[in-house]
Amino acid sequence: MGTCTSKDTKEQKKINRRIEEQIKKDQSMSLRIIKLLLLGAGESGKSTILKQMRILHKDGFSQHDLMSIKPVVHSNCIHSMLAILRAMFHLQIEYSDPERVQDSQLVFATVHSNKEELTEELSAAMQRLWKDEGVQECFRRSNEYQIDDSAKYFFNNLQRLSQADYIPTEQDLLRTRIKTTGITEVLFELKGLTFRLVDVGGQRSERKKWIHCFEGVSSILFISSLSEYDQTLREDNCTNRMQESLKLFDSICNSPWFSDVHFILFLNKKDLFAEKIHRSPLTVCFPEYKGQQNQTECINYIQWKFEQLNRSSQREIYAHHTCATDTQQVQFFIFSKYQLQILKTEATRPLMIYLLMFNRQIHTRQSIRLLEFSVTCLVFKLLV
């Protein structure tokens, strides 16, 4: 019986050892699964980041995936033109060519028929409308009504989008707008770590769902659209979008829920901001602003407005102003060659990082690489 007991003891020790090894392995894996939560107001560009991560670090999108968004592309095109035509009526803007009235009637008829297919006939009509100076004037005043940011991109590609053999590209997919409802996520590998990026709807009606995602969050990626300083929310056509974003950031950044959570802040759509800042003053959003009406000074002021909301003196802010054609994008590639050395240098600094990114809905791969670098900085500090 003693021999039997001895064998049982040895076997139990082996089992215990395997269990302990598995526990250690699981703990090690859990340390390397970094949960990132995408937060921000609606239409700030959160879902675009999620799509980019899938393109860069997963299998991307299959042809079936791309074909499935073809109706969405067509719908976005048609409804964007519809938004302009309706706005022309309310803003009392006339067509420069009276014949465009007939083209506009075709757009209205298409929507009313619930057949939102971008036929060659409809595409030709919309192309003529887009070239009309009255339509262009209305588009320049797009801050006065609701229209998708990608409208110009789609209007400039109408001929391609209406071809019978049209297959959406990844860029088309990134430009499409589908209201995010519920919770979506993507898992991806980067620098030997597994990231779980979670996106939740940014509209007011969706924010009550955010609390279900708070557990286990390593970092929050807060996205705010820089170009929306002179626009109002779709939800009420009254509240300034930038003010809404600042208010939301304040509540999240200083929430007890996230006292130990790291933040990355993206101020998105620099090129759209650059297009409108010379015709639409920053005082529309910030009446107290006394600076020059130029891009650099206005950007610095908006950055300062966000920075002032951070109430923790222990949090250091790292700001990066970038866009697809900015030399800082090139600088980043040079910068990344020394990434490990920089990470080691920065590892002893405070753990709160803000990345202020200015780019057109984060559509460029360069911008996403900058996001990856920023996140890697945070992760390195967590694991060292």
pTM surpassing 0.85? no
Main-chain phi, psi angles of 140, to 5 degrees? -65, -20
One domain for residues 359 and 243: yes
How many residues does the structure list for the chain?
384
- Given 149, 199, 244, 372, which residue is catalytic? 199
- Given 48, 52, 232, 366, which residue is catalytic? 48
Residue 137 sits in a domain whose CATH number is 1.10.400.10
Instruction: Report the distance separating Cα 230 and Cα 232, nearest Å.
Output: 7
One domain for residues 107 and 237: no
Does residue 250 carry a pLDDT above 70?
A: yes
Name the least confident of 37-46, 67-76, 88-97, 282-291: 37-46
Instruction: Report the distance separating Cα 224 and Cα 24, nearest Å.
Output: 39
One domain for residues 136 and 189: no
- For 109-152, the pLDDT digits (tens) are 999 998 888 999 999 999 999 999 999 999 999 999 999 989 99
Does residue 314 carry a pLDDT above 90?
A: no
Decide if 48 is catalytic.
yes
H helix and E strand count, the chain: 16, 5
What three-state secondary structure class fits 33? strand
Instruction: Report the distance separating Cα 34 and Cα 274, nearest Å.
Output: 35
Domain end residue (candidates: 144, 167, 190): 167
- Given 127, 136, 203, 328, which residue is catalytic? 203
Strand partners of residue 33: 194
Query: Which tokens is 174 given?
Result: 């990134």
One domain for residues 154 and 216: no
Question: Which residues, at least 6 apart from 293, have a Cβ–Cβ distance to it below 8 Å?
Answer: 277, 278, 281, 282
One domain for residues 243 and 333: yes
Decide if 43 is catalytic.
yes
Number of domains in the chain: 2
> Is residue 25 in some structural domain?
no
> Is residue 20 in some structural domain?
no
**Short-list 275, 65, 271, 274, CA closest to 178:** 65
CA distances from 153 to 170, 175, 219, 255 (A): 14, 8, 32, 38
pLDDT of residue 85: 98
Residue predicted with more confidence, 305 or 177: 305
Residue 46 sits in a domain whose CATH number is 3.40.50.300
Instruction: Report the distance separating Cα 305 and Cα 36, nearest Å.
Output: 24
- Mean pLDDT confidence for 206-220: 64
Decide if 203 is catalytic.
yes
One domain for residues 53 and 94: no
Name the least confident of 102-106, 169-173, 255-259: 255-259
- Mean pLDDT confidence for 357-380: 53
pLDDT of residue 241: 94
Instruction: Report the distance separating Cα 39 and Cα 224, nearest Å.
Output: 9
- Give the domain extent around 48: 38-61+180-383
Instruction: Report the distance separating Cα 301 and Cα 166, nearest Å.
Output: 44
Instruction: Report the distance separating Cα 39 and Cα 266, nearest Å.
Output: 10
What three-state secondary structure class fits 365? helix
- For 48-106, the pLDDT digits (tens) are 777 877 777 777 889 999 999 999 999 999 999 999 999 999 999 999 999 999 999 99
Instruction: Report the distance separating Cα 226 and Cα 71, nearest Å.
Output: 29
- Given 54, 177, 241, 360, which residue is catalytic? 177
Instruction: Report the distance separating Cα 120 and Cα 128, nearest Å.
Output: 12
> Is residue 11 in some structural domain?
no
One domain for residues 142 and 263: no
Cα angle, residue 203 at apex, residues 265 and 366 outer, rounded to 5°: 35
One domain for residues 123 and 199: no
Domain end residue (candidates: 167, 188, 221): 167
DSSP 34: E
One domain for residues 256 and 351: yes
